[in-house]
Amino acid sequence: MAIQGDWAFCEKCYGLFFNGYAQKGRCPGGRGGHKQPRTGMGYNYTPNHSIPGNQYTQPDWEFCVKCHGMFFNGYSGGTCPAGGVHQRHDQAYHFVLKHDAPKLYSNEQPYWEFCVNCHGLFYNGFNDKGRCPATPRVMLLNGDHVHIGGHKRHPQAYHFVLRFETPAPLGYTLNVGCGWPPNPSVCPGY
Ligand SMILES: [Zn+2]
Ligand SMILES: [Zn+2]
Ligand SMILES: [Zn+2]
């Protein structure tokens, strides 16, 4: 199975971005690009690519060469924080993401969602929904520009699961089973 590491959660916008380059892309949460947290959600995510989809996976997820985020390329439209729509690279991997599977492994994390406004993948496990590039942008007193609204999921959309390298960072409690059997009722946010 083909996988790629160095994907990370951005603590500024709550999106998934590729952290393997020195340049950290464009973040709707302000200048300096996307930023991986040092603790907590600071996982090294390892999405599958270049395999066919099935009932528990969705293809057409791509790296955006402009913002360095993960976005769904199966629709037209979307909004890139670098302006215009997201743009894939001709030679880039085609990612295939797991969703709504009956079993959740200890190195998998639920609560990842498609944003209907920007078409990016974002973490929906917090009350705060991060910074969506499809919402209005304002200038802060320090001169930085940030988008002021959060990402938004569709009520019927898939719930995605991301695998990450183990062991988990110290101090982080993994919600194993949350959102799926055997404990579907204990999930906040769904
Ligand atoms: Zn970001
Ligand atoms: Zn983009
Ligand atoms: Zn969004």
Domain membership of residue 95 as a residue range:
1-190
- pLDDT at 184 (0 to 100): 39
Which of 137, 115, 158 minimizes the C-alpha distance to 16? Answer: 115
Distance 154 CA to ligand 2 centre (A): 20
Distance 21 CA to ligand 3 centre (A): 23
Domain count, the chain: 1
- pLDDT at 63 (0 to 100): 95
Distance 190 CA to ligand 1 centre (A): 23
- pLDDT at 1 (0 to 100): 67
- pLDDT at 179 (0 to 100): 38
Q: Quick check: 97 and 160 in contact, CB under 8 A?
A: yes
At 104-156, the pLDDT tens digits run 887 888 999 999 999 999 999 899 999 999 999 999 999 999 999 999 999 89
Give 171's pLDDT tier (boundaries 50, 70, 90).
low
